[in-house]
């Protein structure tokens, strides 16, 4: 009797597995994708740059200043703050902006770069630190996650390293 | 080799043509359904490739039904997938950005397609810090349709059906080494693999634990950044300093060693069996999967042909004596096909062993082949379309 019940359960399970297989492309992939999408997850700040702290409007373009990203205990990155210039196609050929990163009303860094006419051409930029919290960069491209000046689509992403201080993440 | 010996022992036709066609009909209809969107899109390359893949997948399934063999025909699909996937992928990369390397700008813009191999590494940071340690995007975008949510959805839905059989019906990397293993005429290092098999098959578990814990500690996808052999034939971080140069060296060394040379020497899937942490992770899903391979002890003569033929060392003398495979069995069917006494059989958990093995095989194969057609088939179609696009008379 037990063998028979087990056998019936097994074939029912096998039938359900087949049903699941049929449902995979039509229902399940979308269902599981939605579950992941709504799980409240976010991409690590090392890649995404973190969250936007404030937006500075300029003539024809805007600058997004992100919150500083501090490494976790064993994370192998320097602390940095991300600045995004967008849209890139509205930027002048030469950009040189003094930017207030911490919101105290005084500029903290001067970011300068020449915008290549070809969007695929490598970009290089300079960052001059105007106080001791930040580290200056010269002729910076996309060499590291904490120090960069790169073009991604219609944005220019600049990451300025911070001198190590108390955690602000 | 396994299939050749079994062909000699089995009757040439396991089933009649008519019954084989009838049994193949659901897969033929499923293939048409899966590739219907390709025919609705413009482009002759797409139509040709979809048609070729439908014919390919349906013919292989028909041959499985007709001959009663699984491994031989599945391997043709799997090797085609393994060799054509990198071709299509690299062609797309070169067309789009002119190089296989990922510049840092693409990583920060979230344009890196998500690879299922990184799944175990992201679990702990996602669970405890709600953070995905991968430079992709969670939702699909115009520039990155293979987002994290989509790819995890695909992987999890398919894993519910396949369990560890993912590694022999869905993984687009395993076919490369299976191909190199198939090229070899004879099996070398057999004594070494048999003698140290019990240790070798523990290595993926050790790497899994190491990768999962280290990834959670340093918040980096350690396997992707340092250990994935398949970076050598897909995309890799652009070499921009000593560290990335070392990473590239490791990728190439592991690919040549584990995916080309050792499979050729041993006729085993050495990367899958002795290295891949994702494969070890996937083994856990064998526990909840209903299909397995069992051994009928009344028929078994302990010839160990099955053990020799197993591509991932998922059989030991002890496990065969117990009538079971080990946890890392990926249900490729090599042992069943090679067994001269029909002692190795497909089995549905909960039923009596060796009572209706063909029924268990059919139930498993319908699900596995349907998903292989949906997932691997669409990859094959993409790569074939790329090849058709290169043809000189076009």
pLDDT beneath 70, residues of chain B: 1-13, 393-394
- How far apart CA B340 and CA B40 sit, in angstroms, is 48
DSSP code of A142? B
- How far apart CA B173 and CA B232 sit, in angstroms, is 11
Q: Which of residues 213-272 of B touch A (CB under 8 A)?
A: 217-220, 240-241
Residue-level pLDDT at B8:
46
- How far apart CA B261 and CA B153 sit, in angstroms, is 34
Mean pLDDT of A144-168: 86
Looking at the complex, does the CB of residue B301 fall below 8 Å from at least one CB of chain A? no
Strands B101-102 and B236-237: parallel
3-state class (DSSP) for residue A148: strand
Chain A residue numbers touching B110 (CB-CB < 8 A): 43, 47-48
pLDDT digits (tens, 9 = 90+) for B195-247: 899 999 999 999 999 999 999 999 999 999 999 999 999 988 888 889 999 99
Q: Which residue of A has its CA nearest to B128?
A: A41
Size of interface A-B (CB pairs under 8 A): 157
- How far apart CA A150 and CA B283 sit, in angstroms, is 42
Looking at the complex, does the CB of residue B139 fall below 8 Å from at least one CB of chain A? yes
DSSP code of A151? E
Helix B357-390 × helix B17-40 angle, to 10°: 40
State whether A29 and B367 contact (CB < 8 Å): no
ipTM over 0.90: no
- How far apart CA B65 and CA B75 sit, in angstroms, is 15
H, E, C per residue of A57-116:
ECCCCEEEEECCECCCCCCCCCCEEEEEEECHHHCCCEEEEEECCCCCCCCCEEEEEECC
Closest by CA position to B168, among listed B326, B357, B334, B20: B334
Residue A166 has pLDDT above 80, yes or no: no
- How far apart CA B185 and CA B255 sit, in angstroms, is 21
The domain ranges of chain B are 1-99+356-394, 101-286, 290-355
pTM for the complete prediction? Answer: 0.91
CATH of domain B290-355: 3.30.70.20
- How far apart CA B340 and CA B7 sit, in angstroms, is 10
Chain B residue numbers touching A18 (CB-CB < 8 A): 363, 366-367
pLDDT digits (tens, 9 = 90+) for A56-101: 999 999 999 999 999 988 888 899 999 999 999 999 999 999 999 9
Residue-level pLDDT at B242:
92
Backbone CA torsion sign across B327, B328, B330, B335: negative
The pair of structure tokens assigned to A162 is 């911070």
Q: How far is CA B100 from the centre of its chain?
A: 22
């Amino acid at each position: 009797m037990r063998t028979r019940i087990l056998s019936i359960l097994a074939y029912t399970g096998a039938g359900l597995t087949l049903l699941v297989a049929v449902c995979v492309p039509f229902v399940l992939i979308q269902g599981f994708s939605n579950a992941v999408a709504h799980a409240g997850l976010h991409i690590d700040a090392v890649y995404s740059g973190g969250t936007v702290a404030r937006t500075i409007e300029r003539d024809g373009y805007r600058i997004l200043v992100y919150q500083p990203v501090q490494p976790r205990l064993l994370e192998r990155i320097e602390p940095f703050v991300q600045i995004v210039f967008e849209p890139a196609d509205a930027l002048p050929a030469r950009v040189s902006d003094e930017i207030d990163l911490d919101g105290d009303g005084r500029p903290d860094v001067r970011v300068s770069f020449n915008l290549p006419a070809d969007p695929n051409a490598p970009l290089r930029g300079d960052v001059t630190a105007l106080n001791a919290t930040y580290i200056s960069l010269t002729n910076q491209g996309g060499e590291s996650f904490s120090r960069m000046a790169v073009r991604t689509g219609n944005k220019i992403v600049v990451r300025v390293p911070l001198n190590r201080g108390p955690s602000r993440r | 080799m396994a299939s050749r010996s079994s062909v000699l022992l089995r009757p040439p036709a396991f089933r009649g043509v008519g019954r084989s066609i009838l049994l193949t009909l659901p897969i033929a209809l499923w293939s048409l359904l899966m590739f219907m969107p390709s025919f609705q899109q413009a482009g002759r390359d797409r139509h040709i490739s979809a048609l070729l893949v439908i014919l390919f997948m349906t013919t292989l399934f028909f041959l499985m039904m007709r001959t009663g063999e699984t491994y031989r025909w599945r391997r043709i699909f799997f090797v085609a997938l393994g060799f054509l996937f990198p071709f299509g992928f690299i062609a797309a990369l070169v067309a789009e950005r002119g190089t296989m390397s990922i510049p840092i700008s693409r990583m920060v813009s979230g344009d890196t397609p998500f690879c299922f191999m990184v799944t175990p590494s992201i679990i702990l940071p996602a669970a405890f810090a709600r953070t995905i340690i991968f430079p992709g995007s969670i939702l699909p975008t115009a520039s990155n349709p293979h987002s994290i949510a989509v790819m995890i959805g695909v992987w999890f839905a398919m894993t519910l059906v396949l369990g560890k059989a993912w590694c022999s019906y869905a993984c687009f990397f395993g076919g490369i080494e299976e191909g190199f293993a198939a090229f070899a005429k004879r099996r070398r290092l057999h004594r070494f693999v048999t003698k140290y098999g019990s240790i070798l098959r523990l290595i993926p578990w050790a790497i899994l634990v190491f990768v999962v814990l280290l990834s959670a500690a340093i918040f980096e996808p350690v396997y992707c950044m340092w250990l994935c052999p398949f970076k050598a034939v897909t995309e890799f971080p652009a070499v921009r300093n000593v560290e990335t140069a070392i990473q590239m060296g490791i990728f190439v060394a592991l690919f040549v060693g584990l995916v080309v040379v050792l499979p050729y020497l041993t006729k085993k899937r050495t990367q899958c069996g002795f290295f891949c942490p994702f494969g070890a992770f996937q083994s856990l899903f064998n526990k909840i999967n209903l299909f397995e391979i069992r051994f009928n002890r009344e028929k078994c003569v302990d010839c160990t042909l099955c053990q020799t033929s197993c591509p991932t060392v998922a059989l030991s003398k002890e496990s065969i004596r117990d009538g079971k495979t080990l946890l890392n069995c990926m249900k490729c069917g090599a042992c069943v096909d090679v067994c001269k006494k029909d002692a190795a059989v497909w089995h549905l958990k909960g039923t009596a062993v060796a009572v209706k093995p063909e029924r268990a095989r059919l139930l498993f194969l319908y699900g596995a082949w349907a998903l292989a057609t949906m997932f691997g088939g669409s990859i094959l179609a993409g790569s074939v379309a790329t090849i058709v696009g290169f043809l000189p008379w076009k």
